[in-house]
Protein backbone atom coordinates (compact mmCIF):
# COMPACT_ATOMS: atom_id res chain seq x y z
CA UNK A 1 0.00 0.00 0.00
CA UNK A 2 1.43 3.36 -1.01
CA UNK A 3 0.64 6.75 0.50
CA UNK A 4 -1.91 7.69 -2.18
CA UNK A 5 -3.83 4.44 -1.68
CA UNK A 6 -3.78 4.96 2.09
CA UNK A 7 -5.27 8.44 1.72
CA UNK A 8 -8.05 7.19 -0.58
CA UNK A 9 -8.97 4.40 1.85
CA UNK A 10 -8.94 6.87 4.75
CA UNK A 11 -11.29 9.22 2.94
CA UNK A 12 -13.62 6.32 2.17
CA UNK A 13 -13.52 5.25 5.82
CA UNK A 14 -14.33 8.76 6.99
CA UNK A 15 -17.29 9.02 4.60
CA UNK A 16 -18.80 5.57 5.01
CA UNK A 17 -18.24 4.69 8.68
CA UNK A 18 -21.16 6.74 9.96
CA UNK A 19 -23.42 6.66 6.89
CA UNK A 20 -25.75 3.62 6.68
CA UNK A 21 -24.06 2.31 3.52
CA UNK A 22 -21.43 -0.18 4.80
CA UNK A 23 -17.79 0.82 4.94
CA UNK A 24 -16.81 -2.82 4.23
CA UNK A 25 -18.50 -2.83 0.83
CA UNK A 26 -16.70 0.33 -0.18
CA UNK A 27 -13.35 -0.95 1.06
CA UNK A 28 -13.78 -4.06 -1.10
CA UNK A 29 -14.34 -2.06 -4.27
CA UNK A 30 -11.68 0.54 -3.55
CA UNK A 31 -9.00 -1.99 -2.57
CA UNK A 32 -9.68 -4.17 -5.59
CA UNK A 33 -9.82 -1.26 -8.04
CA UNK A 34 -6.51 0.09 -6.76
CA UNK A 35 -4.89 -3.34 -6.63
CA UNK A 36 -3.90 -3.04 -2.97
CA UNK A 37 -2.05 -6.08 -1.71
CA UNK A 38 -3.98 -8.09 0.85
CA UNK A 39 -1.33 -8.31 3.57
CA UNK A 40 -1.22 -7.91 7.35
CA UNK A 41 -0.41 -4.21 7.30
CA UNK A 42 -3.32 -3.48 4.96
CA UNK A 43 -5.68 -5.26 7.35
CA UNK A 44 -4.15 -3.42 10.29
CA UNK A 45 -4.47 -0.08 8.50
CA UNK A 46 -8.15 -0.48 7.64
CA UNK A 47 -8.94 -1.21 11.29
CA UNK A 48 -6.68 1.42 12.86
CA UNK A 49 -7.98 4.34 10.79
CA UNK A 50 -11.27 3.82 12.63
CA UNK A 51 -9.59 5.62 15.51
CA UNK A 52 -9.56 8.83 13.48
CA UNK A 53 -13.23 8.36 12.70
CA UNK A 54 -14.29 7.86 16.33
CA UNK A 55 -12.14 10.79 17.42
CA UNK A 56 -14.35 12.98 15.24
CA UNK A 57 -17.35 11.96 17.37
CA UNK A 58 -15.55 12.89 20.58
CA UNK A 59 -14.54 16.29 19.15
CA UNK A 60 -18.00 17.12 17.75
CA UNK A 61 -19.88 15.99 20.86
CA UNK A 62 -17.23 16.62 23.53
CA UNK A 63 -19.76 18.13 25.94
CA UNK A 64 -21.74 14.88 26.01
CA UNK A 65 -18.60 12.96 26.97
CA UNK A 66 -18.13 15.22 29.99
CA UNK A 67 -21.79 15.22 30.96
CA UNK A 68 -22.38 12.52 33.58
CA UNK A 69 -21.58 8.92 34.43
CA UNK A 70 -25.05 7.80 33.29
CA UNK A 71 -23.99 8.47 29.69
CA UNK A 72 -21.11 6.01 29.98
CA UNK A 73 -23.23 3.38 31.71
CA UNK A 74 -25.66 3.38 28.81
CA UNK A 75 -22.83 3.09 26.28
CA UNK A 76 -21.35 0.21 28.26
CA UNK A 77 -24.70 -1.59 28.37
CA UNK A 78 -25.14 -1.12 24.61
CA UNK A 79 -21.57 -2.28 23.95
CA UNK A 80 -21.75 -5.51 25.97
CA UNK A 81 -23.80 -7.65 23.50
CA UNK A 82 -21.36 -7.04 20.63
CA UNK A 83 -18.38 -7.66 22.92
CA UNK A 84 -19.75 -11.02 24.08
CA UNK A 85 -20.94 -12.25 20.68
CA UNK A 86 -17.77 -11.01 19.01
CA UNK A 87 -15.67 -12.98 21.51
CA UNK A 88 -17.74 -16.17 21.26
CA UNK A 89 -18.09 -16.25 17.48
CA UNK A 90 -14.93 -14.48 16.32
CA UNK A 91 -13.89 -17.29 13.98
CA UNK A 92 -17.26 -17.44 12.23
CA UNK A 93 -17.32 -13.66 11.92
CA UNK A 94 -13.81 -13.69 10.42
CA UNK A 95 -14.96 -16.34 7.94
CA UNK A 96 -17.84 -14.15 6.79
CA UNK A 97 -15.46 -11.22 6.46
CA UNK A 98 -13.62 -13.16 3.78
CA UNK A 99 -16.71 -13.38 1.55
CA UNK A 100 -17.54 -10.51 -0.85
CA UNK A 101 -20.73 -12.45 -1.72
CA UNK A 102 -21.98 -12.09 1.87
CA UNK A 103 -21.24 -8.37 1.70
CA UNK A 104 -23.12 -7.93 -1.58
CA UNK A 105 -26.19 -9.83 -0.34
CA UNK A 106 -26.31 -7.86 2.91
CA UNK A 107 -25.96 -4.60 1.00
CA UNK A 108 -28.94 -5.54 -1.16
CA UNK A 109 -31.14 -6.78 1.67
CA UNK A 110 -30.26 -3.83 3.87
CA UNK A 111 -30.84 -1.42 1.00
CA UNK A 112 -34.31 -2.80 0.34
CA UNK A 113 -35.15 -2.49 4.04
CA UNK A 114 -33.98 1.14 4.14
CA UNK A 115 -36.52 1.97 1.42
CA UNK A 116 -39.27 1.29 3.98
CA UNK A 117 -37.67 2.54 7.21
CA UNK A 118 -39.27 5.99 7.04
CA UNK A 119 -42.75 4.46 6.72
CA UNK A 120 -42.14 1.88 9.43
CA UNK A 121 -41.12 4.51 11.96
CA UNK A 122 -43.25 7.42 10.74
CA UNK A 123 -45.03 7.57 14.12
CA UNK A 124 -41.78 8.33 15.97
CA UNK A 125 -41.73 11.81 17.55
CA UNK A 126 -40.28 14.63 15.49
CA UNK A 127 -39.07 16.50 18.56
CA UNK A 128 -35.51 16.04 19.77
CA UNK A 129 -35.61 13.08 22.16
CA UNK A 130 -32.09 12.44 23.38
CA UNK A 131 -32.75 10.29 26.45
CA UNK A 132 -32.11 6.57 26.07
CA UNK A 133 -33.14 4.22 28.85
CA UNK A 134 -30.91 1.38 30.05
CA UNK A 135 -33.26 -1.18 28.54
CA UNK A 136 -33.34 0.67 25.22
CA UNK A 137 -29.54 0.90 25.23
CA UNK A 138 -29.33 -2.87 25.62
CA UNK A 139 -31.74 -3.43 22.74
CA UNK A 140 -29.76 -1.08 20.50
CA UNK A 141 -26.69 -3.08 21.48
CA UNK A 142 -28.30 -6.24 20.12
CA UNK A 143 -29.05 -4.44 16.88
CA UNK A 144 -25.35 -3.64 16.66
CA UNK A 145 -24.63 -7.37 16.75
CA UNK A 146 -26.43 -7.74 13.42
CA UNK A 147 -23.75 -5.53 11.89
CA UNK A 148 -21.12 -8.18 12.61
CA UNK A 149 -22.26 -9.63 9.30
CA UNK A 150 -20.19 -7.66 6.76
CA UNK A 151 -22.21 -5.41 4.50
CA UNK A 152 -24.98 -4.75 7.02
CA UNK A 153 -23.45 -1.46 8.25
CA UNK A 154 -22.97 -0.82 11.95
CA UNK A 155 -24.42 2.67 11.50
CA UNK A 156 -27.56 1.40 9.76
CA UNK A 157 -28.17 -1.33 12.34
CA UNK A 158 -27.77 0.91 15.38
CA UNK A 159 -29.75 3.83 13.93
CA UNK A 160 -32.62 1.49 13.13
CA UNK A 161 -32.22 0.07 16.63
CA UNK A 162 -32.63 3.57 18.03
CA UNK A 163 -35.69 4.21 15.88
CA UNK A 164 -37.21 0.96 17.15
CA UNK A 165 -36.90 2.40 20.68
CA UNK A 166 -38.93 5.49 19.79
CA UNK A 167 -36.06 7.89 19.10
CA UNK A 168 -36.30 10.35 16.25
CA UNK A 169 -33.79 10.25 13.38
CA UNK A 170 -31.39 12.77 14.91
CA UNK A 171 -31.30 11.16 18.35
CA UNK A 172 -30.99 7.65 16.90
CA UNK A 173 -28.10 8.73 14.68
CA UNK A 174 -26.31 10.49 17.53
CA UNK A 175 -26.57 7.48 19.85
CA UNK A 176 -25.18 5.40 16.99
CA UNK A 177 -22.22 7.78 16.81
CA UNK A 178 -21.64 7.56 20.55
CA UNK A 179 -21.82 3.77 20.55
CA UNK A 180 -19.21 3.67 17.79
CA UNK A 181 -16.62 5.07 20.19
CA UNK A 182 -16.25 2.08 22.59
CA UNK A 183 -17.01 -0.44 19.84
CA UNK A 184 -14.47 0.78 17.32
CA UNK A 185 -11.92 1.69 19.98
CA UNK A 186 -12.04 -1.89 21.28
CA UNK A 187 -11.60 -3.28 17.74
CA UNK A 188 -8.69 -0.93 17.04
CA UNK A 189 -6.95 -1.62 20.36
CA UNK A 190 -7.35 -5.39 19.92
CA UNK A 191 -5.88 -5.27 16.42
CA UNK A 192 -2.95 -3.12 17.55
CA UNK A 193 -2.17 -5.42 20.47
CA UNK A 194 -2.08 -8.38 18.10
CA UNK A 195 -0.01 -6.72 15.40
CA UNK A 196 2.05 -3.90 16.91
CA UNK A 197 5.30 -5.91 16.68
CA UNK A 198 4.87 -6.15 12.91
CA UNK A 199 4.54 -2.38 12.40
CA UNK A 200 7.61 -1.03 10.66
CA UNK A 201 8.92 2.52 11.00
CA UNK A 202 7.78 3.51 7.51
CA UNK A 203 4.26 2.36 8.36
CA UNK A 204 3.87 4.85 11.22
CA UNK A 205 3.59 7.90 8.96
CA UNK A 206 0.95 6.15 6.84
CA UNK A 207 -1.07 5.25 9.95
CA UNK A 208 -0.88 8.80 11.33
CA UNK A 209 -1.82 10.40 8.00
CA UNK A 210 -4.61 7.87 7.48
CA UNK A 211 -6.17 8.67 10.84
CA UNK A 212 -5.89 12.40 10.15
CA UNK A 213 -7.78 12.13 6.86
CA UNK A 214 -10.38 9.79 8.38
CA UNK A 215 -10.87 12.25 11.24
CA UNK A 216 -11.45 15.32 9.04
CA UNK A 217 -13.70 13.56 6.54
CA UNK A 218 -15.74 11.85 9.29
CA UNK A 219 -16.55 15.22 10.84
CA UNK A 220 -18.00 16.35 7.51
CA UNK A 221 -19.88 13.06 7.06
CA UNK A 222 -21.47 13.25 10.53
CA UNK A 223 -22.69 16.79 10.00
CA UNK A 224 -24.04 15.85 6.59
CA UNK A 225 -25.88 12.77 7.87
CA UNK A 226 -27.72 14.61 10.66
CA UNK A 227 -28.98 17.29 8.27
CA UNK A 228 -29.81 14.85 5.48
CA UNK A 229 -31.76 12.40 7.65
CA UNK A 230 -33.89 15.16 9.12
CA UNK A 231 -34.87 16.42 5.67
CA UNK A 232 -34.88 13.34 3.44
CA UNK A 233 -34.83 10.14 5.51
CA UNK A 234 -33.24 6.85 4.47
CA UNK A 235 -34.60 6.07 1.02
CA UNK A 236 -31.69 7.47 -1.00
CA UNK A 237 -29.23 5.44 1.09
CA UNK A 238 -31.35 2.38 0.34
CA UNK A 239 -31.13 2.91 -3.41
CA UNK A 240 -27.40 3.54 -3.15
CA UNK A 241 -26.83 0.27 -1.25
CA UNK A 242 -28.84 -1.69 -3.79
CA UNK A 243 -26.76 -0.29 -6.66
CA UNK A 244 -23.50 -1.02 -4.82
CA UNK A 245 -24.61 -4.56 -4.02
CA UNK A 246 -25.52 -5.18 -7.66
CA UNK A 247 -22.12 -3.86 -8.79
CA UNK A 248 -20.28 -6.23 -6.45
CA UNK A 249 -22.44 -9.19 -7.52
CA UNK A 250 -21.86 -8.33 -11.18
CA UNK A 251 -18.10 -8.23 -10.66
CA UNK A 252 -18.18 -11.56 -8.83
CA UNK A 253 -20.23 -13.18 -11.61
CA UNK A 254 -17.78 -11.76 -14.18
CA UNK A 255 -14.94 -13.44 -12.28
CA UNK A 256 -13.28 -10.26 -11.10
CA UNK A 257 -11.23 -11.08 -7.98
CA UNK A 258 -12.45 -8.99 -5.02
CA UNK A 259 -10.69 -8.83 -1.68
CA UNK A 260 -11.75 -7.68 1.74
CA UNK A 261 -8.98 -5.78 3.48
Percent of the chain having pLDDT more than 70?
93
CA distance to 53, 89, 101, 153, 243, per residue, from 251 (Å): 29, 29, 10, 21, 12
pLDDT number for residue 244: 92
261: pLDDT strictly greater than 90: no
Choose between 2 and 113: higher pLDDT.
113
pLDDT number for residue 124: 82
Q: Are 245 and 24 spatial neighbours (Cβ–Cβ below 8 Å)? A: no
Choose between 154 and 35: higher pLDDT.
154
**CA atoms within 13 A of residue 185's CA, in its CB half-sphere:** 14
Mean pLDDT of 49-67: 91
The torsion defined by the Cα of 250, 147, 85 and 249, in degrees rounded to 10, comes to: 0
pTM listed for this prediction: 0.90
Mean pLDDT of the chain: 88
Amino acid sequence: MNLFQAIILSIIEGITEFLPISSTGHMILASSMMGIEDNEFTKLFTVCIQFGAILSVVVLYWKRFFNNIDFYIKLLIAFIPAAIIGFLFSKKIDAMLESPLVVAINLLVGGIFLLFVDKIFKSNPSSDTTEVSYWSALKIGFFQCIAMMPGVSRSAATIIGGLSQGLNRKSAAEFSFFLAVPTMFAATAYKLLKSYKEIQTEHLSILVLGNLFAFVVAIIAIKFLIGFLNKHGFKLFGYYRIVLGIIILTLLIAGVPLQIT
